[in-house]
Structures are given as C-alpha cells and as structure tokens.
Amino acid sequence: RLGTDCYRSHGEINDWIEELQQKYPERVFVKQVGFSYEHRELKTITITNGDGRKDKKVIFVDSGMHAREWISPSTGIYVIQQLVENFEENKALLENFDWIVMPIINADGYEYTRSSPANRMWRKTRQPYKTCTGVDPNRNFDFMYGFAGTSTLTCMETYRGPQPFSEPETVVLRDVLLSLKGKISFYLTLHSHGAYLLYPYGYDRILAPNTNELEDVAQAGFNAIYNYSKREYQVGNAAILLYPAAGASDDYAYAVADARIAITMELPSGGKKGFDPPPSDIKSYVEESWVGILAMAKKVIEKY
C-alpha cells in the first residue's frame, strides 16, 4: 500500500498500479497507452467491480498534467486507493460505472521537477524547441487551439507548441479520450492550485450548453468540501472565473470526446509557492479532496 507520507516518483506509481493488477486481477486492468517524449511509460488503470459488464459508462480522472503540481498525482493515487483497496466501502461507485485513472500524464516534466530543487517549479513537457524546452500540455489540445490565453513563444509557461498535439503526452491522452468517446459521463482533471472547481468552456467566456448540469455537479463538490473542512472552493466557468485558456484537456474532453460533465479541479494551495504542500500535509489534502470528488461522482452517478 502506498502511504501518503511522501510524493511518489513516476516509476513508483507505475510499479504500484501494476501490483494492484496482480493483486486484484478480476477488478483492475492496467494498460500501457504510450510513451512520453523521454520514453517513459504512460499507463491507465481501469477499475471495475469485476462483474464483467462491458457496457458501462466511464468516469475518467487524470492527474499530473502540469509538472510542478505534485498534489495532483497524489490525489490521483488516493482515488485509485479508495476504489481498489477500499472497495467494500466504495463499490456502489462501480456498479454502473467503470473508473479510468491516468495518474501521470506529463511524466517527463514531473520527474524533472523531482530531479533538483532548481527545477521544482517546471510546468511544461520536456521536448526541446528552438530556444527553450517544453510545451504547456494544457494548451496543446485541438479544440479552439490558440484562441486565447496561450503563447506562440517557446520560452513562455503557456507555450502552446508548434501545432496541436505536438507533444506525445497529449497525443496519448487524446487517443485514450477518443477511444471512450460518448461513454464518458464525467471527466475530472486534477490540477493545482487555488481551490477552484472549473467547468467548460475555458477557451473563451462562453457558457457551455449544459451549464446547469456542470454547475450542479461542481456545487455538489463545493458543498461536500465546505461541510467537511469549511474550505470554500470557488465554482464557475473556467474562462470567466479564472482566465480564458484555449487548447486545454477539459474543453477537449467535453467538446470533442463528448464527456457530459468535465471539471478541472484546482486543488488547494500549499507551501511557499502554492504548488508545494509539505509531505506531512499530503494526507489531509487528499482526504479532503476525495470528499469533493466522491460527492461530484455521486451526483453524476445518480443523475447522468
């Protein structure tokens, strides 16, 4: 069992989900879905209740898109633990839904931030371009690509890349999402920081067609976390509440892969820079965040 006492490496996380598959072969299925630019293995873990039904809708959770947002993969790990290792308590969540978790998307960036304190605040991928390295993966998806809140300059934190899907990591997530097109009831992407629950559209200040449903699910997350810890997440349209940013995975999952509900969860700030809660805080962060994720998933399960 992976404790919450420290931040785990990409290798540790991959080894651990493989072990889960060995231990729970009837309920857990790990798939290698591709490679990062530096050839790290990118994996998804599919969690079922083992009843063999193939027609279920999907709740898709990803984490580790931005390298420095370490609490994001920690939370992805905790979601997996709740569904697999705490199965008896949570099996109702798997009755009519399969959960698919991709715990680390930007594996190269994540390992780079772990390699030295000087690299701790790296955000992007690690593919080199002319003058600088890396693309903001959350500007690299092909829905309204480049519309707003993105940069054409390679050295900027929000560099969108030379063209959509220039990065192997976003290609991998794209293909996973497209393989599930029409089956995703809930796409949840875990980021940090600031404690926001954001929903599409994010490319411009335009409300999505089912904004009522999106708001309803996000509000369920807000309420559950507020009741649990009195923390007040901010809830709203991503572009209006935070800032417009085109080419993000939430809009892509929603508008292209037809996810009914898509939410970017900006986990709470911590540490000196906001992205660096101390390891001793991981437990309380992930436990609180799970309360919100659970409430949102339950809302989706009961209504959508």
Using CB under 5 A as the binding rule, whether residue 139 contacts Zn ion is answered as no
DSSP H or E segment with residue 267: strand 261-267
Q: For Zn ion, give the closer residue by CB, 191 or 299.
A: 191
Token pair in block for residue 61: 């959770």
Query: Cα-Cα-Cα-Cα dihedral of 77, 78, 83, 85, to 10°?
Result: 90
Closest distance of CB 91 from Zn ion, Å: 31
Token pair in block for residue 196: 């926001």
Strands 41-47 and 57-62, by their bridges, are unpaired
Using CB under 6 A as the binding rule, whether residue 62 contacts ligand 0X9 is answered as no
Sole binder of ligand 0X9 in the list 160, 191, 260, 299 (CB under 6 A): 191
Whole-number Å distance between alpha carbons of 287 and 219: 18
Closest distance of CB 173 from ligand 0X9, Å: 14
Using CB under 6 A as the binding rule, whether residue 289 contacts ligand 0X9 is answered as no
End-to-end CA distance of the chain: 32
Closest distance of CB 259 from ligand 0X9, Å: 13
Whole-number Å distance between alpha carbons of 103 and 268: 18
Q: For ligand 0X9, give the closer residue by CB, 178 or 242.
A: 242
Closest distance of CB 143 from Zn ion, Å: 17
Whole-number Å distance between alpha carbons of 136 and 66: 8
Active site residues: 266
Site of tokens 């209504």: 303
Token pair in block for residue 68: 């420095």
**Restricting to residues 188-217, which ones interact with Zn ion according to CB under 5 A?**
191
Using CB under 5 A as the binding rule, whether residue 68 contacts Zn ion is answered as no
Using CB under 6 A as the binding rule, whether residue 198 contacts ligand 0X9 is answered as yes
Binding site for ligand 0X9 (CB under 6 A): 66, 69, 138, 191, 198, 202, 238-239, 242, 245, 248, 250-251, 264, 266
